[in-house]
Structure 1
Amino acid sequence: MIRKTIASVALAASMLASGFAQADVDFKPLENDPDTIVFGFISTESSANLKAQWQPMIDDMEEALGKKVDAFFAPDYAGIIEGMRFGKVHVGWFGNKSAMEAVDRAGGEVFVQTSKSDGTNGYYSHIITQADNDKLNTLADMLKCDGSLNFGIGDPNSTSGFLVPSYYVFAQNGVDPKDCFKTVRNANHETNLMATANKQVDVAANNSEQLARTNMVKPEITDKVKVIWTSPLIPSDPMVYRKDLSRELKSEIKAFFLGYGRLGNVEEANKVLGGIQDGMGKFMESSNAQLYPIRQLALFKDKLKIQNTEELSADEKAERVAFIDKKLAELDILVSYE
C-alpha cells in the first residue's frame, strides 16, 4: 500500500510536469458557493427538447438541496465548458470529450456517470446515411473520397460525434475529411440526424442514444436512415461539478444524484429518468478516471496525425511522437491502478 501510494504521488508529479493538468491554472476560482446553482447541458439537440427532458429532475434537485437551480443551454459544447471555466456553470452534463476539456480547462471534476434504464453502461458512435441509398452500405463506400459526398460531423467537443469517428473512421484510415468530402459541416446529433433523413447531407456522424431517442418520439425519422458503421463501446456520460465548490455542497450534490431513483419517491424519479434521452437509469459513482480511455483516444489520434503529416521533418515527428508516447505510458500506469 505504501509503495503504491508513493508511486501514485510520483506519477501525479510526472503528469503535472508533462502537461495533463497544465490548463487548470486558467479557470476563474469561485469566491464562495453560489446562491443559485447553474446546471449546464451540452447541446446534443434543441434547447426545447433538452429542457422538456431535464426540467423535472432540476425541480427535484432544487427541492432536495434547498437552493435555486437554473438550467443553462448553450448553442454548442464550448459554451458549457467556458461557462464552467468562468464560474457561470457549477454542475454540468457532459460527454466524455467535453468533460475532459472541462476538467483540464474549467476546474471541473467528474463525480457520477449516467446509465441506461436496462442497466447497461455505455453507448456507440455511428455513421448514418439514407435507408434507401444503395450506394452507401459500408465505411469503404463512404471513404472512396471522390469529393461527391456531403458529410455532417458533430460538435468539435463531442465524443461520439467528433472524437470517436475522427480517430476510428478517419485517422486510422489515413483520411482527412476536408480532402475526402464535397462539404463538411458541424452540427449537434439531432440536426445531423434530421439532415441525413431529409437528404441535406449524404452521410453523418451520430450515436446510438440519439437514434434510440428519436425512434421513441419520431420513428418516421429513424425509418429514413441506416447505420453503416458502429464504434467500440463509449463510456456513459459523466456529470461534472466545479471542484472548488465547498466540500459540503459537493457532497450534497453527489448525494442527490446517487440517491435519485434509489431514495425518496423512487417510482416518480425513475419515471423522470426514463424520459431523458433514450431512457436513462440511475446515476453511478464515477471520477476523472473514467476519462482515461478518452485521453488515450485523443492522444492516439494526434499521434497518427503527426506520423502522417508532410509538414514536419523526421526529427520533429520523432520528438512529438516521443512526447505523446510518454503521455500514453503514464496513462497506461493510471489505467492499471483502476
Structure 2
Amino acid sequence: MVNKKMIFVLILAFTLLLTGCGSNANDENKNDKEEAFTIGVIPVQTVGEMEMAMDKLQTILTKELNRDVSVEVYPDYNGVVEAMNYNKIDMAYFGPLTYVVAHEKSGAKAIITQLIDGEPFYHSYIITHKDSPLNSIDDLVANSKDIDFAFGDINSTSGSLIPSIELKDRGVFESEDVNQFKSVRYTGSHDATALAVQNQQVGAGAIDSAIYNQLVDSGKIDGSLFKTIWQSEKLFQYPWAVHKDTNDVTIQKLKDAFLAIEDEEILGAFGASGFTEASNEDFESIRQAAIKQGIINE
C-alpha cells in the first residue's frame, strides 16, 4: 500500500514538473512573439493622411514576419534618423537624404524602394499657381525679391536639398535667413507645400513629383491650378532601410513581403505603383549632394 502511494506521489510530482516546464516554454514563446519589430516612417504627407495605409502595412508585415510589427509615422524627418541612430526602431522609411544621413550615423541599410510607373525614380519640382506670372525658373530668379518661397521639410531631398542647391547655384538662396526671396518658409510636408501654392499663400514651392501627382490623382489638390516651372534630374526613390544588425532571414522576409504588396491604399500613400529592391549604392548621387551642402562629411 505504501509503495502504491509513493508511486502515485512520484507520478504527480513528475506531471507537475512537466506542466511547469511547458508553462515556462509557453511564456518564453509568448514573450518572443510580443517583442515587436518597430518601423518609423517619415511624414511624406500629413500624419493623419497616412494612418490607415500604415495600419494595413502593419497587418501585412505582422503576418509575413510571424511577429508583432509596429509602424509609426513620425512628425518630422529627423526624428526617424534619430530613432534609428539610438536603436529605437528596427526599420525606417526614409527620404533619400535622411537615408544617407542615417547610413553615415548608424549604418542603416537600404533594402527596398518604391516604383513610380514601373521605375524607381522621381523628380523635385518647383511649382507655382496657374495665375502666377512665373513660367520658368529664370522668371523665379529674376523676380525672387517679390516671391514668398516654400520648401517642405528641411531634411527632405526633393522638398529642400535638391532645389536649394539649384537656387544656390543661381545666386538667390543660401539659407532660410540668407536669401534673395521676399520670404522663405519650411512647411514640413509635401501636401502642405502644395496647398500653400494652391491657396496662393506662397508664390512658388518645391515638392516631390510623385507625391504631387498622387495628391492630384486623389483630388486633395486641383491639378488645373498649378504650373511646374522647374524639374530636377532623376532622383532614386525613397528607401526602406533596416537597422545594421538585422539578420538576413528577416531581411529576406521583409523583401518578399514588400515585393508582394498590391494594396492600392498602401501604394497610394507613397504615390507608388509597386516596390523593388534597393541598395546603398543607389543613393550615391544624394550622398554627393549632401556632402556639397555640408550635411555630411566626405
TM-score interval, normalised by the smaller of the two chains: 0.7 to 0.9
Query: One-letter code of the match for 2:126?
Result: I
Matches within 5 A, 1:1-338: 35-116=35-116, 118-133=117-132, 135-144=133-142, 147-167=145-165, 169-176=166-173, 178-187=178-187, 188-218=189-219, 221-258=222-259, 260-261=260-261, 269-281=262-274, 283-302=275-294, 327=298
CA contact (8 A) 2:112 2:278 kept: yes
Does the residue aligned with 2:145 lie in a helix, a strand or coil? coil
Return the alpha-carbon distance in structure 1 between the equivalents of residues 256 and 221 of structure 2: 40
Does the residue aligned with 2:146 lie in a helix, a strand or coil? coil
Which segments of 5 or more consecutive residues in structure 1 lack a partner in the other structure? 1-31, 262-268, 304-323, 328-338
Which segments of 5 or more consecutive residues in structure 2 lack a partner in the other structure? 1-31
Shift, 1:238, TM fit: 1.0
Return the alpha-carbon distance in structure 2 between the equivalents of residues 293 and 105 of structure 1: 18
Return the alpha-carbon distance in structure 2 between the equivalents of residues 286 and 120 of structure 1: 12
Does the residue aligned with 1:180 lie in a helix, a strand or coil? coil
Return the alpha-carbon distance in structure 2 between the equivalents of residues 254 and 34 of structure 1: 22
Does the residue aligned with 2:52 lie in a helix, a strand or coil? helix
Shift, 1:247, TM fit: 3.6
Query: One-letter code of the match for 2:167?
Result: F
Task: Give the RMSD, CA atoms, in angstroms.
Answer: 2.3
Query: One-letter code of the match for 2:285?
Result: P
CA contact (8 A) 1:74 1:80 kept: yes
Residue deviations 1:242-279, cap 9 Å, x none?
01123433333233223x24xxxxxxx35455433334
After TM superposition, the structure 1 stretch with the greater mean CA deviation from structure 2, 56-65 or 248-257, is 248-257
Return the alpha-carbon distance in structure 2 between the equivalents of residues 101 and 179 of structure 1: 25
Residue deviations 1:93-124, cap 9 Å, x none?
111111111111133111122112x3122111
Residue deviations 1:35-67, cap 9 Å, x none?
111111111111111122332222111111111
Return the alpha-carbon distance in structure 1 between the equivalents of residues 221 and 269 of structure 2: 20
Q: 1:33 to 1:125 in 2, by over 3 A?
A: farther
CA contact (8 A) 2:33 2:68 kept: no
Q: 1:128 to 1:73 in 2, by over 3 A?
A: same
Shift, 1:175, TM fit: 2.6
After TM superposition, the structure 1 stretch with the greater mean CA deviation from structure 2, 77-86 or 50-59, is 50-59
CA contact (8 A) 1:149 1:181 kept: yes
Q: 1:115 to 1:91 in 2, by over 3 A?
A: same
Residue deviations 1:118-137, cap 9 Å, x none?
3122111000111111x211
Tell me the residue number matched to 1:19: none
Query: One-letter code of the match for 2:56?
Result: P
Query: One-letter code of the match for 1:285?
Result: E
Residues paired across the two proteins, number: 262
Tell me the residue number matched to 2:21: none
Return the alpha-carbon distance in structure 1 between the equivalents of residues 80 and 233 of structure 2: 26
Q: 1:161 to 1:294 in 2, by over 3 A?
A: same
Shift, 1:226, TM fit: 1.2
Q: 1:171 to 1:302 in 2, by over 3 A?
A: farther
Q: 1:79 to 1:302 in 2, by over 3 A?
A: closer
Shift, 1:146, TM fit: 5.2
Return the alpha-carbon distance in structure 2 between the equivalents of residues 122 and 257 of structure 1: 17
CA contact (8 A) 1:33 1:245 kept: no
Return the alpha-carbon distance in structure 2 between the equivalents of residues 73 and 273 of structure 1: 13
Q: 1:233 to 1:181 in 2, by over 3 A?
A: same
Does the residue aligned with 1:82 lie in a helix, a strand or coil? helix
Query: One-letter code of the match for 2:289?
Result: L
